[in-house]
Amino acid sequence: MATLQVLTIPAFDDNYLWLVHDGVHAAVVDPGDAGPILAALALHQLSLAAILLTHHHADHVGGVPELLRHASVPVYGPRHEKIPTVSHLLEQGDTVVVPELQWQLGVLDVPGHTSGHIAYFAAVEEWLFCGDTLFAGGCGRLFEGTPEQMDASLQKLAGLPGRTSVFCAHEYTMANLRFAQAVEPGNVALQERIVREQDKRDRHIPTVPSTITLERETNPFLRWREAEIRHSLQEAGKLGDDTGIAGFAALRAWKNSYR
């Protein structure tokens, strides 16, 4: 059995498309643009075996029709969203098997960014493909879901093994970490992370994948219950004395307007 590898395929301004391969066959996650995927397949002499989608936004699904014109392959996607190209509908507890790669992934429901968003967890490799739910240092905007849903989704992902690699779909890391520092300035692990990630960006190296452990230590949307973050929210007039989900909602709303 060949060792699986993940190719990072940049697209648009700040998207990452993920191409998982064994040197012969490949599966692609969230191909918003077909061009870079077709180029990578040709460059590495790979045959496309499957397409996996996390949610319906165009920058995640836009390249699927063109890819299907080049290869008739299964398209996996969320059961609770309408994506015309999906041939295999998935929800929490389902399993995806890509036989050409001898690769198996579990499906997690992670609504919040969209109402039917899913994530894929490959337990053997400890890889998480989470679309726009969990970002390096942040989380997705709540376009369709509620704060309660997003918080539950993030806590579900935070419960995965700490070594899990987090393959999120955007290079938003430095902006996310600047906000994280504003709301939790005393977090030493966060300060150290900012230095490391800025060095990567200075050298044009992607900051993802991250890891679950690193997100637990530095991501304010996994840490919003921490006293310093709640104090920052209160000092900024974003939150009263409420100790419930209002804290998460206030943090997400603040990030939406933070510059």
User: Annotated catalytic, 117?
Assistant: no
For residue 139, count other CB atoms closer than 10 A to its CB.
29
Catalytic-role residue among 22, 33, 59, 151: 59
Catalytic-role residue among 22, 33, 109, 132: 132
Cβ atoms 113, 140 nearer than 8 A? yes
Catalytic-role residue among 25, 56, 113, 117: 113
Phi, then psi, of 121 in degrees rounded to 5: -120, 120
User: Annotated catalytic, 44?
Assistant: no
User: Annotated catalytic, 170?
Assistant: yes
Q: Which tokens go with 220?
A: 């304010």
User: Annotated catalytic, 60?
Assistant: yes
User: Annotated catalytic, 13?
Assistant: no
Catalytic-role residue among 21, 55, 56, 117: 55
User: Annotated catalytic, 57?
Assistant: yes
Catalytic-role residue among 21, 56, 60, 117: 60
Catalytic-role residue among 30, 57, 109, 151: 57
Instruction: Enumerate the active-site residues.
Output: 55, 57, 59-60, 113, 132, 170
